[in-house]
A and B are shown apart, each in its own frame.
Chain A
Amino acid sequence: MRIINIRPSRPTVVVLALLPFVAIFIAYTVASDIRLAANPADKLLPAPETVMETAGRLVTEADRRSGDILFWQDTWASLQRLLLGVGISSAIGLVFGLLIGLLPVARALLAQVVAVISMIPPLALLPILFIVFGLGELSKVVLIVIGTLPFLIRDLSQRVLEVPQELVVKAQTLGASTWVIAVRVALPQLMPRLIQAVRLSLGPAWLFLIAAEAIAADAGLGYRIFLVRRYLAMDVILTYVMWITLLAFLMDWALRSLSRRTFPWAEDGL
């Protein structure tokens, strides 16, 4: 039998999916054991128990000076920046995507400038953002917006262009104005694609968030990771990294199921 025709059964799929995770965990444990056997004070690869212990301490114990649990404070600060940045970015992206996709005049005016701007590495702009918007929240949110917006605009305008021309013509023969075509034909068809595009840009958004927090912040997941780096506190860093991964994964999953539930007519591509 050809290997392309071998389809795993449902339990096998679950086992196969778990296998890489187990492999990674075992590899880490073994490596950590080897290092700790050589030097019990080794900080680079703490034992999984140590990481769990630290994680338990981080999520429950309050900071002695401020009395807040820093872990949740950091999470809240980071999520706020991330959601604000992605939210603003998708709102602007939606408007410009519709404009560029629907109106040839807007396309002639904006498509090239968006293509050029999207080539600017956003991190190169970070110093400018810090100078212009200060070291506060604004510059971090703006970095996320600048980092994800060009992609969103280009992707969404492309998706509007992919709406079959037949539908646009049909709407016109039913008497729809440009505005009605935008809000009743193009926008609803764009929404599932927006969610898809946001899912794709969550990765870059996290990247820009961590980068901005690493350079200047007083709270945040990225800030904490780069702070404890000075003490080689790998157990703290690993806890935070896993937490960020989990958050990112949950967001992706939530967006996917939202899309499935809200747009049952868009069956493929999700």
Chain B
Amino acid sequence: MTYVRVENLFQSYGRRPIIERVNVDVAEGEFISIVGASGCGKSTFLRLMLAQETPTRGQISINGANPAREPGLDRGIVFQRYSVFPHLTVRDNIVAGESFRRGWGRFWGAERRAALARADETLARISLDHVADQYPATLSGGMQQRLAIAQALVAKPSVLLLDEPFGALDPGTRLQMHDFLTELRAQAAMTVFMVTHDLAEAFKLGDRVLVFDKVRWDPQDPNLHGATITYDFDARHGGIPFQTLKEKTNVPYPA
């Protein structure tokens, strides 16, 4: 049932605690939105999920596996910026999602042709096929993020991590990206953790919304205590719970 298990997670930089006592269980296919004020450890939490950093205490395990020690194939990531390789064309960026795990990081011969064909299919699906031969710098912000998400998904990660993926986009593009992400999830259920500043976005996309905040606050030394998860909202049905009836309703309607 539990797919991602976060147990008693602490992280501090030097003597300064960032997050403390974070416990959360996530089921497979859930979309977790993470919100909170600036400096409340949202991004630290994501870096710990990514295994870019090692926690000072506690652990994160995905599907019962041992905690990861470095970023790897099982966790995909999309950052706000710098998420695609600027020196590769759009098509090669997609191919890289499959080929970087190889010894030389590339495919040759028939395998390469097959990968290029698959990449073209992917690009057609995310409607970026008309810019396949261009470099990412020529693309708009929304297109770059679409490419970044597709590239991360081509590697078939168990968990997709999004670090304020739509933070730099204008409101219209952001709505398009919401639809894009919702479509992708409808095609294949995936477990997603998304850090965002936008509460509406968090509730719109997420199944659960986790709020990071400090529970203890020292007026003399605001940095003395770390943040933890203070709320865990059920965000399905627009954030209004108990919308689905659990019991059978095939009883005669009261006359």
**Which A residues are within 8 Å of any B CB, using their own CB?**
164, 166-167, 169-177, 179-180, 183-185, 188-189, 263-267
Q: Collect the chain B residues with CB atoms within 8 Å of residue A264's CB.
A: 135
A173 and B50: CB pair below 8 A? yes
CB distance from B162 to the nearest CB of A (A): 12
- With A183-B104, A183-B105, A184-B96: A174-B87 Cβ-Cβ less than 8 Å: no
Known contacts A180-B100, A188-B87, A189-B87; is A169 also within 8 Å of B73 by CB?
no
| Cβ of B194 under 8 Å from chain A | no
Residues A265 and B97 in contact, CB atoms below 8 Å apart: no
Dominant secondary structure of chain A at its interface with chain B:
helix
Q: B63 interface residue, CB < 8 Å from A? A: no
Residue of B nearest to A176 (CB): B100
Chain B residue with minimal CB distance to A168? Answer: B71
Is the Cβ of A172 less than 8 Å from the Cβ of B82? no
- Which one of A170, A177, A263, A265 has the highest number of Cβ atoms from chain B below 10 Å of its Cβ? A170
Contact A173 B85 (CB under 8 A): no
Q: Most B CB atoms within 10 A — which of A166, A174, A185, A188?
A: A174
| A265 to B71 CA separation, bound complex (whole angstroms) | 27
CB-CB < 8 A to A184: which residues of B?
96, 100, 104-106
Evaluate whether A170 and B77 lie within 8 angstroms (CB atoms) in the complex, with A175-B101, A180-B104, A265-B135 already known. Answer: yes
- Cross-chain contact A173 with B76 (CB below 8 angstroms): yes
Rounded to whole angstroms, the CA-CA distance of A160 and B179 in the bound complex is 37
- Bound together, the chains give a CA A215 to CA B246 distance in angstroms of 95
Q: 9 closest pairs, A vs B, by CB?
A: A175-B101, A180-B105, A172-B71, A166-B82, A176-B100, A184-B105, A164-B82, A265-B135, A174-B100
Known interface pairs A169-B77, A170-B77, A173-B73. Does A265 touch B52 (Cβ–Cβ under 8 Å)? no
For A170, the chain B residues whose CB sits under 8 A away are 77, 79, 82-85, 152
Of the candidates B52, B75, B76, B85, the one having the most CB atoms from chain A within 10 angstroms of its own CB is B85
In the bound complex, do residue B101 and residue A173 qualify as a contact, i.e. CB atoms below 8 Å apart? Answer: no
CB-CB nearest in chain B for A171: B100
Per-residue A-contact encoding for B53-64, CB less than 8 Å = 1, 0 else: 000000000000
Q: How far is the CB of B13 from chain A (nearest CB, A)?
A: 16
List 18 interface pairs A-B (beta carbons < 8 Å), by A numbering: A164-B82, A166-B79, A167-B85, A169-B50, A170-B77, A170-B84, A173-B71, A173-B155, A174-B73, A174-B100, A174-B151, A179-B103, A180-B100, A185-B85, A188-B88, A265-B86, A266-B86, A266-B87
Report the Cα distance A173→B161, complex, angstroms: 10
Q: Are A176 and B135 in contact (CB under 8 A)?
A: no
**Does B239 touch A at the CB level, under 8 Å?**
no
B37 close to A (CB within 8 Å): no
- CB-nearest residue of chain A to B84: A170
Q: Knowing that A164-B81, A173-B157 are A-B contacts, what are 13 other residue pairs whose CB atoms are under 8 Å apart, sorted by A's residue number?
A: A170-B77, A171-B100, A172-B70, A172-B71, A172-B72, A174-B152, A176-B105, A180-B102, A183-B104, A185-B85, A188-B87, A263-B87, A267-B137
> Are B71 and A169 interface neighbours, CB within 8 A?
yes
The residues of A that contact B50 with a CB separation of less than 8 Å are 169, 173
The interface size of chain B toward A, counting residues with CB under 8 Å, comes to 34
Residues of chain B within 8 A (CB-CB) of A176 are: 100-101, 105
**A183 proximity list for chain B (CB < 8 A):** 104-105
Inter-chain CA distance A171–B82, complex, in Å, is: 11
Chain B 43-57 residues near chain A, CB threshold 8 A: 50, 52
Task: With CB as the reference atom, state the residue of chain B lying closest to A190.
Answer: B87
Q: Is the CB of A174 within 8 A of B137?
A: no
CB-CB < 8 A to B75: which residues of A? 173
A268 to chain B, nearest CB (A): 9
Select from chain B the residue with minimum beta-carbon distance to A263: B87
Cα A15 to Cα B211 in complex, Å, equals 64
CB A76 to nearest CB in B, in angstroms, measures 36
Closest chain B CB from A60 CB (angstroms): 47
Interface string of B17-32 (1 = CB under 8 A from A): 0000000000000000
Chain B nearest Cβ from A98, distance in angstroms: 15
A151 to chain B, nearest CB (A): 24
Q: Do the beta carbons of B106 and A169 come within 8 Å of each other? A: no
A166 in contact with B73 (CB, 8 Å): no
Q: Can you name the residue of chain B whose Cβ is closest to the Cβ of A182?
A: B105
Residues of chain B within 8 A of A173, CB atoms compared: 50, 71-73, 75-77, 152, 155, 157
- The chain B residue with its CB closest to the CB of A189 is B87
Contact with A along B154-181 (1 / 0, CB 8 A): 0101000000000000000000000000
Say how far B245's CB is from chain A's closest CB, in angstroms: 41
Give every chain B residue within 8 A of A263 (Cβ-Cβ): 87
Contact present for A174 and B79 (CB under 8 Å) = no
User: Contact between B81 and A166 (Cβ–Cβ < 8 Å)?
Assistant: yes
Expressed in whole angstroms, the Cα–Cα distance for A169 and B155 within the complex equals 14
Residues of A with C-beta under 8 A to B79: 166, 170
